[in-house]
């Protein structure tokens, strides 16, 4: 059972805090707010965690190589953006350490670079025949017969799966989100968690889940937009588009980072043709260029949004937008409450 009034005020005040933080951001010299100050790049795996294995290379090495190229390109094109990496060498920072690091650095965007893999298929071929003797009938009618039985050789066929896909965290259904938050409550290990939410705050309570969702909701649209723009760029250079995918569970870092986040599966190391591409200088440059182009469009999109917001503020519609935010949360709380009732059989 939820103490709805308490909860409502908690959420409402959080909404207002976030809202006032947004409008209190210091403007730049040209009078415009910077839409992105810090980007965190997370090369997947590393150290003892090699990730997926190809015929001659490891995922962790490709992730690092692409990430470093990507970072260098971002730095060239956006010299004002602060870049931080969760690793720049062959080490394995724990996932919670990566997320904490990103949060501590107050990232505005988290980009995870990974390499995909599909399992080998089993193939077989007939290599010859063996004569096998068998008998039919009983007693006097028993007859000896022979037949040819094919002999097979079994082998592994590399999967032909290829292309890129970009993951974001989140799911269409409230239930899934709830599940995901419950599964990974690390998101609450924020520095000022107790101070912000009180010492008796249970991370797995519906209240906590609601707070987390409020946060997630803000980032979801941004993550989804960037992910879409990244896939668009991959398509333009002829990569196979495996689309933007949402995962409610499983990609922990995406959820634990308090910022828009995407995970790019750059290609399939299990496909020999793609393994070659992923390891090549040209391939790594192309992948990085695609992500940087998408980033440019994303920044543009954020700036347009900001302009719209400023217009709204001038029209004194800002109160309405905060009211909408609170109404959204209220609606969510009702869903949680209904689910809780269902579970407890009331
Ligand atoms: Zn991976």
Q: What is the pLDDT of residues 59-112, one digit of tens each?
A: 999 999 999 999 999 999 999 999 999 999 999 998 888 888 998 999 999 999
* Residue 3, pLDDT score: 45
Tens of pLDDT, residues 214-241: 666 668 888 989 999 999 999 999 998 8
Place of tokens 């969702």: 213
Structure tokens of 220?
Answer: 């979801």
Query: Rounded to whole angstroms, how far apart are CA atoms 297 and 317?
Result: 27
What are 179's two structure tokens? 């599940």
Residue 295 pLDDT exceeds 50: yes
Give the residue-averaged pLDDT of 265-276: 95
User: Measured in angstroms, how far is the CA atom of residue 54 from the centroid of ligand 1?
Assistant: 12
Joined together, the tokens standing for residue 286 give: 């192309």
At residue 9 the predicted structure's pLDDT band, cuts being 50, 70 and 90, is very low
Separation of CA 45 and ligand 1 centre (Å) = 6
Among 96, 100, 89, residue whose Cα is nearest residue 40: 100
All residues at 6 or more sequence positions from 104 whose CB lies less than 8 Å from its CB, including other chains: 191
Report how far ligand 1's centroid is from the alpha carbon of 49 (Å). 10
Neighbouring C-beta atoms of residue 236, cutoff 10 Å: 10
Token pair belonging to 120: 């080998």
How many angstroms separate the alpha carbon of residue 67 from the centre of ligand 1? 13
Give the separation between CA 26 and CA 169, rounded to whole angstroms.
Answer: 29
Residues 302-329 have a mean pLDDT of 64
59 CA distance to ligand 1 middle (Å): 7
Q: Structural domains in the chain? A: 35-118+160-297 (3.40.630.40), 122-156 (no CATH)
Burial class (CB in 10 A: 0-12, 13-18, 19+), 154: exposed
Question: What is the rounded CA–CA span in Å between residue 65 and residue 321?
Answer: 43
Rounded to 10°, the helix 206-236/4-24 angle is: 40
Ligand 1 centre distance from Cα of residue 133 (Å) = 52
pLDDT above 80: residue 4: no
**Once rounded to an integer, what is the mean pLDDT over residues 36-52?**
94
Query: Alpha-carbon distance 330 to 206, whole Å?
Result: 13
Q: How far is the CA of 187 from the centre of ligand 1 (A)?
A: 21
CA of 224 relative to ligand 1 center, distance in Å: 20
Q: Which pLDDT belongs to residue 290?
A: 97
Which of 29-33, 49-53, 138-142, 267-271 has the least mean pLDDT?
A: 29-33
Residues 6 or more apart whose Cβ sits within 8 Å of residue 94: none
Residue 34 reports pLDDT greater than 80: yes
């Amino acid at each position: 059972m939820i103490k709805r009034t308490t909860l409502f005020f908690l959420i409402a005040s959080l909404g207002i805090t976030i809202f006032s933080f947004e409008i209190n951001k210091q403007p730049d010299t040209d009078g415009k707010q910077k839409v992105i100050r810090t980007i965190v790049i997370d090369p997947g795996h590393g150290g003892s965690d090699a990730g997926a294995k190809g015929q001659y290379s490891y995922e962790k090495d490709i992730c690092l190589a692409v990430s470093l190229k990507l970072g260098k390109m971002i730095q060239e094109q956006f010299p004002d953006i602060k870049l931080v990496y969760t690793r720049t060498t062959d080490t394995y920072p724990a996932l919670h350490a990566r997320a904490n690091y990103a949060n501590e650095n107050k990232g505005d965007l988290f980009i995870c670079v990974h390499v995909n893999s599909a399992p080998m298929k089993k193939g077989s071929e007939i290599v010859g025949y063996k004569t096998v003797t068998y008998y039919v009938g009983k007693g006097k009618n028993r007859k000896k017969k022979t037949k040819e039985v094919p002999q097979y050789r079994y082998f592994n066929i590399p999967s032909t799966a290829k292309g890129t896909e970009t993951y974001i965290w989140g799911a269409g259904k409230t239930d899934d989100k709830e599940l995901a938050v419950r599964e990974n409550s690390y998101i609450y290990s924020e520095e000022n968690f107790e101070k912000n939410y009180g010492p008796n705050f249970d991370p797995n309570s519906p209240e906590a889940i609601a707070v987390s969702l409020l946060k997630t909701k803000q980032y979801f649209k941004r993550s989804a937009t960037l992910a879409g723009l990244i896939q668009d760029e991959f398509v333009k250079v002829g990569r196979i588009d495996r689309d933007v995918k949402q995962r409610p569970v499983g990609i922990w870092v995406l959820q634990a980072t308090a910022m828009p986040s995407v995970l790019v599966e750059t290609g399939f190391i299990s496909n020999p043709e793609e393994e070659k591409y992923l390891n090549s200088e040209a391939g790594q440059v192309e992948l990085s260029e695609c992500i940087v182009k998408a980033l440019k469009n994303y920044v543009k999109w954020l700036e347009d949004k900001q302009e719209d917001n400023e217009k709204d503020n001038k029209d004194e519609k800002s109160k309405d937008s905060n009211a909408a935010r609170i109404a959204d949360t209220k609606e969510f709380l009702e869903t949680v409450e209904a689910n809780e009732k269902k579970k407890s059989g009331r």
